[in-house]
Amino acid sequence: MMLSGTQYSISAGPYQAVITEQGGGLRTLTRDGHDLILPHDPDQVTPAGFGQLLAPWPNRIDHGRYEFEGVENHVAINEPARDCAIHGLVRWDPWALEEQTADSVKLSFRLLGQPGYPYRLDLSVAYELDAENGLTVRLSAHNTGGRTAPYGQSTHPYLTVGLPIDACEVDFGAAEYQPVDERLIPAGPPLGVEGTRFDLRTAQLFGDRRIDTAYTGLPFVDGRVWVRLSGGGRTTALWADEAHPWLQLYTADDLHGSQVRAGLAAEPMTCPPDAFNSGIDLISLKPDDTFTSSWGIQSQM
């Protein structure tokens, strides 16, 4: 058995993808054999969040502690160097197959109450490939418990065009970025990107700038915001719907070997870092309510 469990392969036209039982994650996505995201081996422990689904929170909870509706909770610290709980509770567990066709697959996961997160959710994710439009992903959470649950979700693909990101252009129209402290916890309100290294509103050579930053003030057009990474005559583009008022970019500086700065993590988020404490854009998912968001990746010539 592969470390990441059963592998689900789907295809449509020039596109192919592999989704994993572990975490319901996206392991590979290609067009005409070219990687659109950084892949990893099925017998490798998923590195640095590659393609993982992040729920019931994205990014970090400061010290793993938060209060919701008057109840104090403390989730396990899984980023000890920064004393944070990071990227939720579902990315390492097996997800169950619901249905599969040649060009789509749907998986589900039942998140039962546990110390620090005493809520019950049914999660589902549907991946679908289209020969023209590439990959579309829909992630849903349904509250099957009797209490309102704090909730947020995201995903963690690393976009690539087969070149180091220093040699690529990035086009991303966000108007504001979230300043953080040395532990990557928000420090003050969002600031304008103009005049900073975070300004990517005009396609430009990315160079050696280092970014591990949440953006907001996103320019949705026809219900979508886009991040485009271009180089070597190729463009890989990620879009996210309006359920994601935030999007994190990370330049993969902390990876190892050939993976260092080989791709740009683009993480559409429903809420900012530490939203369980700030309450900013935090979803209060009431009993029997469902929340769904969508995003996708395609190659643009």
> Average of pLDDT values for 107-134?
98
**Strand bridging mode 53-54 / 60-62:** unpaired
> Average of pLDDT values for 194-219?
96
> Average of pLDDT values for 170-196?
98
- The CATH number fitting domain 7-299, selected from 2.70.98.10, 2.40.50.140, 3.40.50.2000, 3.90.950.20: 2.70.98.10
**What pLDDT is recorded for position 255?**
85
Transcribe 232-274 into DSSP letters: TTEEEEEEEETT--EEEEE--TTS-GGGTTSSEEEEEESS-TT
> Average of pLDDT values for 270-276?
98
User: What share of the chain in percent tops pLDDT 70?
Assistant: 100
> Average of pLDDT values for 255-275?
95
Q: Are 10 and 126 in contact (CB under 8 A)?
A: no
Model pTM above 0.85:
yes
Identify which of 298, 300, 301 has the alpha carbon closest to the alpha carbon of residue 130: 298
Does 2 have pLDDT greater than 90? no
Q: Are 297 and 29 in contact (CB under 8 A)?
A: yes
Residue 123 carries which side chain, given as an amino acid letter? L
Tokens (6 digits) for 200: 């990517």
Does 193 have pLDDT greater than 90? yes
Identify which of 96, 97, 126 has the alpha carbon closest to the alpha carbon of residue 111: 96
Angle at 21 between CA 17 and CA 27, to 5 degrees: 35
**What pLDDT is recorded for position 1?**
59
Q: Where are the domains of the chain?
A: 7-299
Buried b / exposed e along 229-245 (16+ C-beta atoms within 10 A): bbbeebbbbbbbbebbb
Who's near 1: CB < 8 A, 6+ residues apart?
none
Tell me if the bond preceding 56 is cis, omega within 30° of 0.
yes
Identify which of 6, 55, 51, 46 has the alpha carbon closest to the alpha carbon of residue 26: 51
Does 191 have pLDDT greater than 90? yes
Read off the pLDDT band of 87 (50, 70, 90): very high
For CA atoms 126, 116, 77, 250, the dihedral sign is positive
